[in-house]
Amino acid sequence: MRAQFVLSEIGVGLRRNLTMTFAVVVSVALSLALFGGSLLMSDQVNSMKGYWYDKVNVSIFLCNKSDAEADPKCAKGAVTSDQKKQILGDLNKMSTVVQKVTYESADQAYKHYKEQFGDSPLASSLTPDQMQESYRIKLVDPQKYQVIATAFDGRAGVQSVQDQKGVLDNLFELLNLMNRAAIALMALMLIVALLLIVNTVRVSAFSRRRETGIMRLVGASGFYIQAPFIAEAAVAGLIGGGVACFFLVVGRYFTIDHGMALSQKLNLINFIGWDAVLTKLPLILATSLLMPALAAFFALRKYLKV
Amino acid sequence: MIRFDNVSKVYPKQTRPALRDVSLEIERGEFVFLVGSSGSGKSTFMRLILREERTSQGQLHVLGKDLARLSNWKVPQMRRQLGTVFQDFRLLPNKTVAENVAFAQEVIGKSRGEIRKSVPQVLDLVGLGGKEDRMPGELSGGEQQRVAIARAFVNRPKLLIADEPTGNLDPQTSVGIMKLLDRINRTGTTVLMATHDQNIVDQMRKRVIELEQGRLVRDQARGVYGYQH
């Protein structure tokens, strides 16, 4: 009896406020789609950063056998253990500039590469001995990249000195900016959604004040009186969450796989997979259910005497 | 059943108390009229019993419970033992007579079987047998008030509070309602009824409590509406 009663009350309530319900659904859908989109964007940035991006500032790549044939800088052949010792020794002497040095072997480099690019065609054609050994350096002051570059660039056994941030920084900055814009827009939409819910609940409580008044007098519990209102908001929110999930799935499908087909145009970038999208969906659905329910609960404390 | 001990009530932003220093006791099974002019504190008196308002001073016990100490979440349980009837009936216009009565049981989670049994029973008791499927709009005022009484009584409350139940009814219909309330009272239910209806009070010869400007000015065992000297 209870469940049936509550369900019928929800149906009546949602239909009575059809326009309001629609507004709630749309605003929840938009805000959560933006929320999910920004989560996916930061996933994308992280997957592009690779293993070393946030850990080091400068990488010294050492010559390997294939470099010795192809790269004029490595004309003297692959790096020797003496050269490595010398480089490491010099790095350790520069303790005012260098905070930490990590050595990455070719095998480790291969492993990290595999982690980042997974099963892309580029990665599967690669073997460990094609990878370069490297020194990964964390600087005391990230701006002092030039000090390392002048000291080691052109040295025997060194293929290149790379400022880790320089390569992708501009792109990441752009992505971060977009991300922040998405978050700001999401916050705005979220506020709109919450205000709409509060207003819907207020209208709903007002139009049902006769029922709730009687319920109160005959001793219905607070939960029983409030449940239809809260469930109403939760159902509307959940529909919005479903729409947001739909947006995300369709969004990934048309930007990465088909439509814009970025995965074919930019095949050097490791794009996020479906797993990244699918793991976001439960979070979005849960948010879409709980957030409006909570908003309704607090609105009821103000507009519905129990 | 109900005990007021030096109860006062001052509403916020008002200097004049709505009730001042009221002490009285209503026993189980009594039938009590509450009289007094508008603004004398009758409504406040009833709202305090229903725990719609809290006392400002003094102690109020209803059904053995100190209302000041009753936590909010226990209030619904307490109200299930009270029935309430109003001057304006307060029926749900889009529900049938039977549904209106059943509503009072649905919302406190009574089982369907229980509802199916008790609703026709109580409708018979108030004299509305056969009108289960009518809408409130199709009924006369007296019949609507009977529905409201059925709804208030269907959960078998220990106390029935009626706030001017005959205020909107003609004298003859009012007599019918009073007979019904009297019958409910005879089942052991305490009845507290606020009224302006002099004839009814004079005819029934029940206990009369009179309030004037928030003070208890009369408490008479077999009283009449006005003062008797």
pLDDT at B229 over 70: no
Write out the CATH class of domain A58-164.
alpha beta
Q: Which residues contact A167 (CB under 8 A, 6 or more apart)?
A: none
Q: For chain B, which residues make up each domain, given as ranges?
A: 92-156
Distance from CA of A22 to the nearest CA of B (A): 25
pLDDT band for A120, please (50, 70, 90 cuts): low
Average pLDDT of the segment spanning B137-152: 96
Q: What is the mean pLDDT of chain A?
A: 83
Question: Which chain B positions have a beta carbon within 8 Å of A218's beta carbon?
Answer: 79-80, 83-84, 103-104, 107-108, 151-152, 155
Q: Which amino acid is at B30?
A: E
pLDDT band for A52, please (50, 70, 90 cuts): low
Residue in chain B nearest A226 by alpha carbon: B107
Average pLDDT of the segment spanning A111-131: 75
pLDDT at A123 over 70: no
Distance from CA of A53 to the nearest CA of B (A): 56
User: Left, alpha or beta for B13 (phi > 0: left; psi -120 to 50: alpha)?
Assistant: left
ipTM comes to 0.86
Strands B159-163 and B82-86: parallel
- CA–CA dist A253, A257 (Å, integer): 5
Distance from CA of B79 to the nearest CA of A (A): 5
pLDDT tens sequence across A155-189 = 888 888 888 766 667 777 888 888 888 888 888 88
pLDDT at A1 over 60: no
Question: Which chain A positions have a beta carbon within 8 Å of B109's beta carbon?
Answer: 1-2, 224
Decide: helix, strand or coil at residue A60: strand
Q: What is the mean pLDDT of chain B?
A: 93
pLDDT band for B184, please (50, 70, 90 cuts): very high
Residue in chain B nearest A3 by alpha carbon: B109
Question: Which chain B positions have a beta carbon within 8 Å of A215's beta carbon?
Answer: 107
Q: Which residues pair with B190 in a beta bridge?
A: B159
Q: Bigger pLDDT: A306 or B41?
A: B41
Q: Bigger pLDDT: A124 or B220?
A: B220
Residue in chain B nearest A225 by alpha carbon: B107
Residue A158: phi and psi, rounded to 5, are -95, 125
Q: Are B206 and B219 in contact (CB under 8 A)?
A: no
pLDDT tens sequence across B43-74 = 999 999 999 999 999 999 999 999 999 998 89
pLDDT at B8 over 90: yes
DSSP annotation of B212 reads E
pLDDT tens sequence across B185-204 = 999 999 999 999 999 999 99
Q: For chain A, which residues make up each domain, given as ranges?
A: 2-50+169-303, 58-164
Q: Bigger pLDDT: A129 or B146?
A: B146
Question: Which of B89, B107, B151 would best serve as a mutation to test chain A binding (most A beta carbons within 10 A)?
Answer: B107
- CA–CA dist B132, B129 (Å, integer): 7
Cα B100–Cα B105–Cα B108 angle in degrees, nearest 5: 130
pLDDT at A70 over 80: no
- CA–CA dist A269, A116 (Å, integer): 10
Query: Does B82 sit within 8 Å of A219, measured CB to CB?
Result: yes
Structure tokens at A192: 């709109």
Query: Does A214 sit within 8 Å of B90, measured CB to CB?
Result: yes
CB nearest B92 (choices: A2, A211, A306) = A211
Average pLDDT of the segment spanning B101-115: 92
pLDDT at A254 over 90: no
